[in-house]
Amino acid sequence: MSATTHLKVLACAFAILPLSALAQHGTAAEQPAAPETHLKNIRQITFGGDNAEAYWSFDGKWLSFQSNNKAWGLECDQIFALPVKKAAKTKGYHPAMVSTGKGRTTCAYFMPNGKEILYASTHAGGDHCPPTPDLRQGGKYLWSVYDSYDIYVANKKGKIVRQLTNSPGYDAEAVVSPKGDKIVFTSDRTGDLELWTMNIDGSNQRQVTFGLGYDGGAFFSPDGTKLVFRASRPTSDEDVKEYKELLAEGLVAPTEMEIYTCNVDGSNLHQVTHLGKANWAPYFHPSGKKIIFASNHHSSRGYDFQLYMINEDGTGLEQITTQSIFNAFAMFSPDGKKLVFSSNRDNGGSRDTNVFVADWQE
């Protein structure tokens, strides 16, 4: 992102645009659905509401995710910890809520010890869900960038054990390196939405990216040496003006984003995609040489998001999903054998977006 699940990334994002605004009604993609040959034994593990940004624990037994399922009494996104095997066997399984239930949350990620979960929350700014502004101004989708977001660590019972950020402004979209030593997150503390890193305990916070635009939804490479992320890069005077004016209002327009990589220190910045429209929610393939991501570049309607995979050098684009009109937030399990993703497939014509797990086939 991303309760209206806010796409932190177009998230972890994002803290951002409601999935229901993108998912629309129905499940048919624009083109006839081709076989999803990389995905076998697909299992739905959430049922109802908007469920997204489901990310594996280090041992591959749990998922952290955010949901606004009204059947669970939620008014906006809250964080949950889901045991994968139990959820796969029990339709409608109600997992434990990890967040406080106050404010809005986004972008949860298990800590290396498997006992604690990292997430961003606005609860310090108020108990109630922060108001959602008009997210379709001027015919454009917009995301809210709440300045009350800070990053916390809680145990599985929901007790906050420490706060990692306390700078004024937006701090969210945090994930942990596979090496277990660093966290990458997005912050606007310098006046723009940039990537930052910090040690696992919150110390040594350092800015990584510096280009004007929204840098977010970052993940580490399998060896922990690189970052992959989505970025907008306004260049014309008109686009720069619009970006700065929206950001001053706590908003961003995620309709034009491309996938980038860089080293963890920000060096060797490289644009991977040049597809146009919204390319986001990237994650490294277990080989470290490919990237899976969500994109609507093929769509004439804007909201048809499918998963694609591409080589890090920008070659070899391959479509992974074809079912439904929303597929995003893909993440490989630590052993590389499974893929978790969010989709509005099999939702009975509703706007629900659910979490699915599939066996990955090369």
- Angle at CA of residue 215, ends 131 and 142, nearest 5°: 35
pLDDT at 64: 98
Residue bearing tokens 């109630």: 128
Indicate whether 34 belongs to any domain: yes
Residue 29 scores a pLDDT above 50 = no
Indicate whether 292 belongs to any domain: yes
Residue 14 scores a pLDDT above 50 = no
Indicate whether 1 belongs to any domain: no
**Are 145 and 251 spatial neighbours (Cβ–Cβ below 8 Å)?**
yes
User: Which domain, by its residues, includes 214?
Assistant: 6-360
Confidence band (pLDDT; 50, 70, 90) for 135? low
Indicate whether 323 belongs to any domain: yes
Average pLDDT, the chain: 91
Closest C-alpha to 119, from 195, 203, 176, 34 = 176
Indicate whether 158 belongs to any domain: yes
Q: What percent of the chain has pLDDT over 70?
A: 90
pLDDT at 158: 96
Our count of domains for the chain comes to 1
Q: What is the rounded distance in angstroms from the CA atom of residue 203 to the CA atom of residue 209?
A: 18
Instruction: State how far Cα 154 lies from the chain centre.
Output: 19
Confidence band (pLDDT; 50, 70, 90) for 302? low
Residue 292 scores a pLDDT above 50 = yes
Q: What is the rounded distance in angstroms from the CA atom of residue 87 to the CA atom of residue 95?
A: 8
Q: What is the rounded distance in angstroms from the CA atom of residue 31 to the CA atom of residue 23?
A: 16
Residue 133 scores a pLDDT above 90 = no
Tens digits of per-residue pLDDT, 224-256?
999 999 999 999 999 999 999 999 999 999 889
Indicate whether 332 belongs to any domain: yes
**Are 185 and 165 spatial neighbours (Cβ–Cβ below 8 Å)?**
yes
Which tokens go with 172?
């969210």
Indicate whether 83 belongs to any domain: yes
Q: What is the rounded distance in angstroms from the CA atom of residue 184 to the CA atom of residue 218?
A: 7
Instruction: State how far Cα 278 lies from the chain centre.
Output: 13
**Are 102 and 119 spatial neighbours (Cβ–Cβ below 8 Å)?**
no
Instruction: State how far Cα 35 lies from the chain centre.
Output: 25
Beta bridge partners of 358: 339
125: domain CATH number? 2.120.10.30
Give the DSSP letter of residue 349.
Answer: T
Q: What is the rounded distance in angstroms from the CA atom of residue 321 to the CA atom of residue 325?
A: 10
Indicate whether 298 belongs to any domain: yes
pLDDT at 141: 82
